[in-house]
């Protein structure tokens, strides 16, 4: 099918939507026009096709937005892959640093009101807004990443076993540490991020019960700036390296870039998170990234979109773990090639149930 792509300026309420064509056939290059409103800046491209599609895919991002090299980018990748395969229009909406629940609610309501279905909300901060808007639009499916608390027949909670993937990178850290001292940096001290810490500690101690593990969090709720403060991440990492840690793992969103800088400058090693950050980080820092804990949000968003469009949407909690390919660890760069068999042996024990990974540090 031949599709013609045109551009137009869109300013809807306090948001502007970014729409990209996703069709199975050939398309022309899309041009965009920027527009600034009081709250956001975005570009819209629309598709004229032979018939109006029944479904239009949308993603509403978390704070860091697309381009974070991890969580948000992965959500985009899975959703847009599904849209392309299915020949559907795709829309993305960026959050603001000062977002409130009302902002998020208005954003989702605007998407639903403009005919988008299914809608992916990236991040647990969308829980309240999703619950409210899903009740108003019972025929629209909502998938919320990292939250399973919304109970509604048209809401899928996309949940991950972060503790399992973190266990494996904890194994890597303990096997490779020369000082017997490793570190963990969490973005914000919330139960979700504690799952990363708990798994990491358990994995490291499974290898070396006497290993020293230093943990810190960059902010405390309701302050969520710890997910997007590379300077603070760098400061925390440098402090750990100065205190004797030689490997540090950060589950801190955009703040993790600061860890990579500190490791590069000091000659230490780092562990990435969410995406394979050896490939997404800046070239000048990637060589210190020995592995990344893979949280395959793309698998979840792709699965959600394709299930909904196929008529088999799954309401309630949808768990993505080691067994389903929802989490794992990366081997890019070759720094851990010599221990892959050992790490995989632990993964097998987790999947068999022989090892049950804790989700809290208490």
- Give dist(CA 108, CA 127) in Å, integer: 11
- Give dist(CA 9, CA 11) in Å, integer: 7
Question: Quick one: 179 exposed, middle or buried, by C-beta within 10 A (0-12, 13-18, 19+)?
Answer: middle
Give the pLDDT confidence of 160-199 residue by residue, as tens digits: 999 999 999 999 999 999 999 999 999 999 999 999 999 9
Where do the domains of the chain lie?
4-160+298-320, 162-295+331-352
| pLDDT for the residue 172 | 99
Q: In tens digits, what is the pLDDT along the chain, a chain of 362 residues?
A: 322 222 222 333 333 333 443 433 333 332 222 222 323 333 333 333 333 448 999 999 988 788 888 889 999 999 999 999 999 999 999 988 788 999 999 999 999 999 999 999 999 999 999 999 999 999 999 999 999 999 999 999 999 999 999 999 999 999 999 999 999 999 999 999 999 999 999 999 999 999 999 999 999 999 999 998 999 999 999 999 999 999 999 999 989 999 999 999 999 999 999 999 999 999 999 999 999 999 999 999 999 999 999 999 999 999 999 999 999 999 999 999 999 999 999 999 999 999 999 999 98
Q: Are both 4-160+298-320 and 162-295+331-352 of the same fold? A: yes
| pLDDT for the residue 64 | 77
- ω before 118 within 30° of 0 (cis)? yes
Tokens 């990344």 sit on residue: 292
Q: What tokens does 312 get?
A: 């088999």
For residues 108 and 328, the answer to whether their CB atoms sit within 8 Å is: no
Residues sharing a CB contact under 8 Å with residue 100, sequence separation 6 or more, in sequence order: none
pTM: 0.83
What's domain 4-160+298-320's architecture? 3-Layer(aba) Sandwich (3.40)
| pLDDT for the residue 297 | 97
- Give dist(CA 37, CA 51) in Å, integer: 31
Q: Tell whether domain 162-295+331-352 is in CATH 3.40.50.2300.
A: yes
């Amino acid at each position: 099918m031949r599709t013609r792509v045109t551009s137009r300026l869109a300013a809807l309420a306090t948001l502007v939507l970014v729409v990209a064509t996703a069709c199975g056939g050939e398309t022309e290059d899309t041009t965009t026009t920027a527009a600034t409103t009081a709250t956001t800046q975005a570009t819209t491209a629309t598709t004229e096709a032979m018939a109006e599609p029944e479904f239009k895919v949308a993603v509403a991002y978390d704070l860091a937005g697309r381009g974070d090299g991890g969580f948000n980018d992965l959500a985009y990748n899975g959703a847009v892959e599904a849209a392309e395969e299915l020949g559907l229009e795709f829309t993305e909406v960026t959050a603001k640093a000062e977002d409130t629940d009302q902002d998020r609610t208005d954003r989702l309501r605007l998407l639903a009101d403009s005919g988008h279905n299914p809608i992916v909300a990236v991040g647990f901060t969308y829980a309240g807004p999703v619950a409210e808007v899903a009740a108003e639009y019972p025929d629209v499916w909502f998938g919320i990443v990292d939250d399973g608390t919304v109970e509604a027949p048209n809401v899928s909670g996309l949940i991950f076993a972060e503790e399992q993937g973190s266990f494996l990178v904890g194994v890597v850290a303990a096997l490779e540490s020369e000082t017997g001292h490793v570190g963990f940096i969490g973005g914000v001290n919330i139960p979700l991020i504690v799952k990363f810490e708990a798994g990491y500690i358990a994995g490291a101690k499974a290898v070396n019960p006497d290993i020293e593990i230093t943990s810190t969090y960059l902010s405390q709720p309701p302050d969520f700036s710890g997910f997007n403060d590379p300077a603070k991440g760098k400061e925390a990492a440098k402090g750990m390296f100065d205190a004797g840690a030689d490997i540090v793992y950060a589950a801190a969103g955009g703040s993790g870039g600061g860890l990579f800088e500190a490791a590069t400058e000091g000659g230490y090693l780092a562990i990435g998170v969410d995406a394979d950050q050896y490939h997404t980080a800046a070239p000048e820092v990637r060589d210190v990234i020995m592995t990344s804990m893979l949280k395959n949000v793309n698998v979840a968003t792709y699965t959600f979109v394709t299930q909904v469009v196929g008529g088999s949407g799954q309401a309630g909690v949808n768990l993505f773990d080691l067994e389903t390919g929802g989490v794992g660890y990366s081997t890019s760069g070759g720094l851990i090639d010599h221990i892959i068999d050992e790490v995989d042996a632990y993964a097998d024990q987790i999947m068999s149930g022989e090892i049950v990974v804790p989700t809290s540090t208490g």
